[in-house]
């Protein structure tokens, strides 16, 4: 029996689960190095996922008239996430008020992922062929891994 090939949605959901887990762990963390490590891991995951997702899901969707609005909305939400991350990066993880912004980031991440999985995947699923979905998964995975390594490397 032939095993089904991974689609772009399978690949994205794996990263989504990692993002959810890192957000939950960050919000439960205590001040100190562990919180900073969790935040750094979340930053790498979000940035690598965002870049690869935009290239290998949003761009193909922008080629379809029916995918324009959903893609633009998703890109806007990525921008909002980036702004929250930038705000958090400006301050020490133990600074007063930092966790309030971290909670806002977690809420936004969870909202974006839920919306993407419930709406965007359905819209794009109708517009992309099966072969595109598997090809995009391979391209996404390759770029995502490259970005993770690049972002996690010491400066």
Supply the pTM of this predicted model: 0.93
- Rounded to whole angstroms, how far apart are CA atoms 7 and 10? 5
- Residue 120 structure tokens: 């965007």
State the CATH number of the domain containing residue 94: 1.20.120.520
User: By residue range, what is the domain housing residue 69?
Assistant: 8-147
Any idea of the CA torsion for 117, 118, 124, 130, to the nearest 10 degrees?
Answer: 70
pLDDT tens track, the chain, 155 positions: 445 689 999 999 999 999 999 999 999 999 999 999 999 999 999 999 999 999 999 999 999 999 999 999 999 999 999 999 999 999 999 988 999 999 999 999 999 999 999 999 999 999 999 999 999 999 999 999 999 999 988 76
> From residue 73, how far is each of 44, 90, 108, 111, 147 by CA, in Å?
22, 26, 13, 13, 23
Continuous segment of H or E residues that includes residue 90: none
**Would you say residue 136 lies in a domain?**
yes
**Would you say residue 2 lies in a domain?**
no
**Would you say residue 77 lies in a domain?**
yes
**Would you say residue 152 lies in a domain?**
no
């Amino acid at each position: 029996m032939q095993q089904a090939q991974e689609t772009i949605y399978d690949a994205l959901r794996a990263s989504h689960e990692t993002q959810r887990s890192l957000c939950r762990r960050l919000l439960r963390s205590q001040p100190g190095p562990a919180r900073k490590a969790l935040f750094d891991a979340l930053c790498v995951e979000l940035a690598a996922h965002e870049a690869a997702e935009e290239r290998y899901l949003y761009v193909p969707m922008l080629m379809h008239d029916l995918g324009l609005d959903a893609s633009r909305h998703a890109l806007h939400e990525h921008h909002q996430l980036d702004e929250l991350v930038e705000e958090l990066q400006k301050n020490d993880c133990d600074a007063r008020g930092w966790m309030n912004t971290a909670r806002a980031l977690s809420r936004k991440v969870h909202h974006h992922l839920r919306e993407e999985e419930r709406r965007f995947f359905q819209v794009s699923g109708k517009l992309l062929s099966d072969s595109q979905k598997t090809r995009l998964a391979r391209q996404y995975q390759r770029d995502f891994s490259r970005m993770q390594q690049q972002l996690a490397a010491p400066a």
